[in-house]
Copies of this chain bind each other. A is one copy, B any other.
């Protein structure tokens, strides 16, 4: 049985080693930053997680999840995203409110509850922020998404997810008239300050580079399986 804290470490480690592909390991400071604790605290926990065979780790080395650790992390992430979906779909929460409550709900221990909730929601594949929900086996759909800031002027794309899950950012996204599955066209990218002009539903908006870094999109060419020389390799 894992404690809430242990679960949070595993979930965070999983996110750090799966978001940016290629990166399979994390560091003490990085983990501390994301968990909102001090590196010293993380260091103590690393010893415990290693002892429980949930991570691979040597003194002064990098941290990687073991198979069991990854499985446990996936389970927490699955619960988090299912609960977010429940709150959003069934209880009329807005997308900027669900995360905070799901942070608590993800730690409820009951296999039956997870299964029943999944069924009740009709086996959703994505949460309100467009993040993939791992299924009962821990598998999830991979999508070749890029950030809005990686798009070229003149190209069209569809918003599929957000990177930043904080309430202020999510509210700002709504304000700009954007949302999951919205189509948009990149009109221009200003060379001086990288301000990006986009058109959504006929309305033109200007967004910053910082904003665009946190919006995930799929480009129209990719969707149509056309090779897209700009950002897909």
Contact = CB atoms under 8 A, between A and B. Distances in A.
Interface residues of A, number: 18
B101 A87 contact: no
Contacts of A101: 108, 110, 112-113
Interface string A85-112: 0010011110001001100110011101
B104 A117 contact: no
A141 interface: no
B110 A108 contact: no
A120 interface: yes
A226 B102 CA distance: 51
A92 to B, nearest CB: 6
A91 B108 CA distance: 15
A116 interface: yes
A108 B112 contact: no
A113 B90 contact: no
Contacts of A100: 110
B104 A116 contact: no
A91 B104 contact: no
Contact of A93 (B93, B108, B112): B112
Contacts of A117: 91
Contacts of A90: 120
Nearest to A115: B91
A87 B117 CA distance: 9
Contact of A104 (B92, B97, B108): B108
Contacts of A97: 112
Interface string A135-169: 00000000000000000000000000000000000
A100 B111 CA distance: 12
Contact of A91 (B87, B92, B113): B113
Nearest to A92: B116
Contact of A116 (B93, B105, B112, B113): B93
Interface of A: 87, 90-93, 97, 100-101, 104-105, 108-110, 112-113, 116-117, 120
6 contacts: A87-B113, A91-B113, A91-B116, A91-B117, A92-B116, A105-B105
